[in-house]
Structure 1
């Protein structure tokens, strides 16, 4: 299983913003820091704002910040929102002859649920414990 780019960028945005709580962060700051397209980030930040993870402020001095403390941002929930919980394989849509008797889809659904359950035991704050990562994120100012 591989996370999509949208999820990757969502996590990166949250890492950066969490380490700069005293200021509003801008798209251009994050784009420069991670060398990511502004257009990709615009969509990510918009979605994180709609989901309640970021507060966004428009205008000349606008930007965004965490809408809740890092301890309240559950990774399992975040990744389920950004990835979606669609089946890893859709036997019925592919018109597989074995669909009626195969248990592969059940096994994959169980594994996918275990993946989300495991991530749900962690918060954004848990990921920010690395001193090296914190130092690098803070030094970006």
Structure 2
């Protein structure tokens, strides 16, 4: 199984916003840090905003920020809104009905258990867990450099 780019950038965007909090984050800055286009990032932001993980502030000094505390944003929830599905093989979903082994297949049961374990582990982590060292991440993301370039000074934590 491989997670989509949308999921990876959605999680990265949430991490960026958590590290940059309480300030608003600029989409252009996030896109630049991750080496993606603004338009691609807007496509990613839409479902996570629609589902209550981010909020947008319009206007000249607008941007995005977390819509709830980082400890309330679960990784599994984010992935459920950004991935199309989690079918590990054709044995899942509507094609399962056409399988002659349906409900009697050890392979399908093994894949079901593996997916349940994957979900269980992801449900243990939040965005707060991913930003446990905000100063290191702030440096890695270049947040200070971006703000200094715009003449901004960060407030204390």
So what's the TM-score if we normalise by structure 2? 0.78
Q: Is the 8 A contact 1:128 1:134 kept in 2?
A: no
Counting only pairs closer than 5 Å after superposition, residues 65-84 of structure 1 correspond to structure 2 as: 65-84=65-84
Distance 2:60 2:32 in 1: 19
Candidates 131, 136, 140, aligned match of 1:136: 140
Counterpart position of 2:124: 121
Relative to total residues, which structure has the larger helix share, 1 or 2?
Answer: 2
- Mark the runs of 5 or more structure 2 residues left unpaired by the alignment: 147-157
Structure 1 residue 13 displacement after superposition: 0.5
Distance 2:114 2:80 in 1: 14
Distance 1:102 1:124 in 2: 37
Aligned-residue Cα RMSD (Å) equals: 2.2
- Mark the runs of 5 or more structure 1 residues left unpaired by the alignment: none
Counterpart position of 1:87: 87
Which has the larger Rg? 2
Instruction: Please state whether the residue corresponding to 2:95 is helix, strand or coil.
Output: coil
Structure 1 residue 7 displacement after superposition: 0.3
Counterpart position of 1:58: 58
Distance 1:30 1:124 in 2: 16
So what's the TM-score if we normalise by structure 1? 0.85
Q: Is the 8 A contact 2:73 2:126 kept in 1?
A: yes
